[in-house]
Structure 1
Amino acid sequence: MPLETPRRASVIGDVITQMETMVVSGEWPVGTRIPPEPELVAALGVGRNSVREAVRALAHSGMLEVRQGDGTWVRAASGLGAALDRYVRRADARHVLEVRRGLEREAARLAARNRTADDLAGLTAALGRQHELAAADDRDGFVRGDLAFHRLVTAAAHNPVLTELLEHLGDALGATIALTVDEQHAVGSPLFHVHTDLVEAIRAGDAETAGRASDALLDELLALLGDPT
């Protein structure tokens, strides 16, 4: 997706739009450095000030991060994602999980309807990997694997808006899994039956059962957080 010289009517606005598109499309992935200013000026056919204003606007939105002496880096895949990241970092873990519970229920229901053969293969492999990590008592690996499992369920829903929302609630979920994983081991082995029930419901195309399994999975984490009162 090459950059193009913008229309003169709204140079800065067009530069912002094109740069946003590069981020959202994945041409400039999160965590990577964007091309330096001279390259952007040449590719867009605009002045340095227009590029600088566009970068400043996107940095203000949270999509980009300007690091003195190290260029400009992609921080979030959208302005919405950046705003959610900032808010979630200040939010109570229980509140975030309660919201995520509803979103994940719908993701599970949609996954049961929209999953592909590749989605099912990925979920099955992730479930097997979780068993291996638990058996090896690999706490950090288990947390990462659990997050990966949740992302695969969301991806199987094939709804980009839902994926975006859940992705930016992921940090809070990861923190909660990390806090509760020791408690899960303390009361017995991790409750894989819930993960297994969810995968089997998605495999069967049973949206209602998939939704209930997803609720059960998040309810376990909420219960491990304890009584909010």
Structure 2
Amino acid sequence: MNKAKLPRLSLVDSAVAELRSAVARGEWPVGERIPTESRLSEQFGVGRNTVREAVRVLVHAGLLETRQGAGTFVRARLDPTEALRRMERSTLRDQLEMRMALEAEAARLAAQRRDGPDLDAMHSALAARGAAGANLPLRIQHDRAFHQAMIAAAHNRALAELYRYFSEAVARTIARTEYDDSLPEPSQQDHEALLAAVERGDASAAEQQVRAMLAPALAALQAS
């Protein structure tokens, strides 16, 4: 890495950006120890406390890993927090397509793997969604709970973690389709049809119902 003086404004943020960039470029491969605080301090032209705080940020993000008595090592090249920020800047169409992919697969798996408590959770959330009526914030809350229960019913830990990671973007798509009259929102009956397919174990019908529920909103976005 070439020695580069960082701007005095937001020194920690600048150091974080420089470290993140170096890791993403593969300057230090995964598993390799990064330079010491003193070396990074000299390279960046900042104090060791600034470097220490920047490293702490990236350790918290999962990009770096500190090992007692051994130093700080590269844990991953891709920063999940940066990926989330990029996703948040994506279009609503992109986010709806992502939501469709995740929920369609979850519905298929849920129809095959759901158990009694899973169905109870889905029924409870859907009943609460229906009871919310015109109270949009409450309906959105229970709508989100229903889809989270369906994800849990898939009994796939990786899928559940991925959905949890993108849950805020998913929640925004729910809110947008509820509040925006130009975007068709899946009805209570649509959700009941999805739950019925999951309950009877019809994986194909459950997957297709998710796609059918979100397709009108996607078509409206494409048309606009």
Matched with 1:196 is 192
Give yes or no for contact 1:123–1:199 (8 Å, CA) kept in 2: yes
TM superposition score normalised by structure 1: 0.61
Cα 1:80–1:116, aligned 2, differ >3 Å: closer, same or farther?
farther
The root-mean-square deviation of aligned C-alpha atoms, in Å, is: 3.0
Matched, 1:58 2:73: no
Give yes or no for contact 1:194–1:217 (8 Å, CA) kept in 2: yes
Deviation at 1:60, TM superposition (A): 4.6
- Percent identity over the alignment is 31
Deviation at 1:121, TM superposition (A): 0.4
Taking the aligned partners of 1:80 and 1:116, their CA distance within structure 2 comes to 36
Cα 1:81–1:147, aligned 2, differ >3 Å: closer, same or farther?
farther
Matched with 2:102 is 103
Cα 1:190–1:210, aligned 2, differ >3 Å: closer, same or farther?
closer
TM superposition score normalised by structure 2: 0.62
Structure 2: tracts of 5 or more residues without a match: 1-30, 32-51, 65-77
1:156 aligned residue (141, 153, 158): 153
Taking the aligned partners of 2:121 and 2:204, their CA distance within structure 1 comes to 21
Cα 1:204–1:60, aligned 2, differ >3 Å: closer, same or farther?
closer
Q: Residue 193 of structure 1 aligns to which amino acid in structure 2?
A: Q
Cα 1:94–1:62, aligned 2, differ >3 Å: closer, same or farther?
farther
The number of residue pairs the alignment matches comes to 161
Cα 1:88–1:206, aligned 2, differ >3 Å: closer, same or farther?
same
Cα 1:141–1:204, aligned 2, differ >3 Å: closer, same or farther?
same
Task: Tell me the secondary structure at the aligned position of residue 227 of structure 1.
Answer: helix
1:169 aligned residue (158, 166, 169): 166
Structure number, greater radius of gyration:
2
Deviations 1:164-204 (A, max 9, x none): 222222222222222221346998x9611110111111111
Deviation at 1:161, TM superposition (A): 0.9
Deviation at 1:83, TM superposition (A): 4.2
Deviation at 1:206, TM superposition (A): 0.7
